[in-house]
Amino acid sequence: MADMLEINNLGISFGGLREVDDFHVNIRQGELYGLIGPNGAGKTTVFNLLTGVYRPDEGKIRLDGQDITGKKTIEINKAGVARTFQNIRLFHQMSVLDNVKAGLHNHYHYSTMSGILRLPVYRRTEKEMDERALHLLEVFDLAGEADYLAANLPYGKQRKLEIARALATDPKMLLLDEPAAGMNPNETAELMETIRYVLDRFHITILLIEHDMKLVSGICEKLTVLNFGRVLAEGPTAEVLHDPEVIKAYLGE
């Protein structure tokens, strides 16, 4: 399989301090790849570089062969990158269904006048969007809560909804920023099954940031470990997690 994501020599500084330095990774199409490291290692900064929140000082990012280095967030999303956040970012006062439909708007279009006048093209488009959004909610066992306010969902279901909304953009690659944060063990186990299902069902590539080592070791094929903004170790998960330098970094020795 070809590489879906290629990152070479990526770096960025803030106020003269090097936050990420010479970061590199190659992730193959359809792979579930983990990015781990102690707090402050630079993991979320890497995600922000990949999604256009920050512009790198140096380095190259290629998605499916396309150079997306330094592009705006909306351009990167249209190129095929979607993400979730450690702190859930939903439209809390919108319905569960409308949250997912918000992710569909890159693929469905009608004029403002069509919407105001409720013309046939508007009604047809809205019907198609409703059907597609409901299909995604069914995948995540959320169809029964389609009319609920997103704010009223339990925490674990809010996490699922955020992933469903990201998938609504039809991405080539999904970036998950600590999706198990704040979850209890049962919710984490269910999340692991959900991530595996998404990988198999949607045939996309997933890059996962996570502190939960059980989750990482249970689902990631390969890992990169960051420490102080630099790659500490990389390779098959079992090998990386037994690397003495990785153990030392996590134990703080």
Burial of 142 from C-beta contacts in 10 A (0-12 / 13-18 / 19+): buried
Which residue in the block uniquely carries the two structure tokens 């960025």?
12
Q: Rounded distance, CA 209 to CA 37, Å?
A: 9
The angle at the Cα of 190, spanning 188 to 192, to the nearest 5 degrees, equals: 70
Do 79 and 169 contact (CB within 8 A), yes or no? no
Global confidence as pTM: 0.89
For residue 51, give the nearest of 226, 207, 234 by alpha carbon: 207
The kind and range of the H/E element at 126 are helix 120-139
Q: Rounded distance, CA 80 to CA 187, Å?
A: 28
Residues for the chain: how many in total?
A: 253
Backbone angles phi, psi at 10, to 5 degrees: -75, 135
- Pairing of the two strands 173-177 and 205-209: parallel
What are the pLDDT tens digits along the chain (253 aa)?
689 999 999 999 999 899 999 999 999 999 999 999 888 899 999 999 999 999 999 999 999 999 999 999 999 999 999 999 988 889 899 999 999 988 887 665 554 545 455 656 556 767 787 888 999 999 899 999 999 999 999 998 999 999 999 999 999 999 999 998 888 888 888 888 989 999 988 889 999 998 777 788 889 999 999 999 999 999 999 999 888 888 887 765 4
Q: Measuring CA to CA, how many Å separate 161 from each of 1, 134, 148, 150?
A: 30, 12, 12, 8
Tokens of 137: 């909610």
For residue 221, give the nearest of 195, 188, 250 by alpha carbon: 195
Contacts of 231 by beta carbon, 8 Å cutoff, 6+ apart: 22, 23, 24, 25, 224, 225
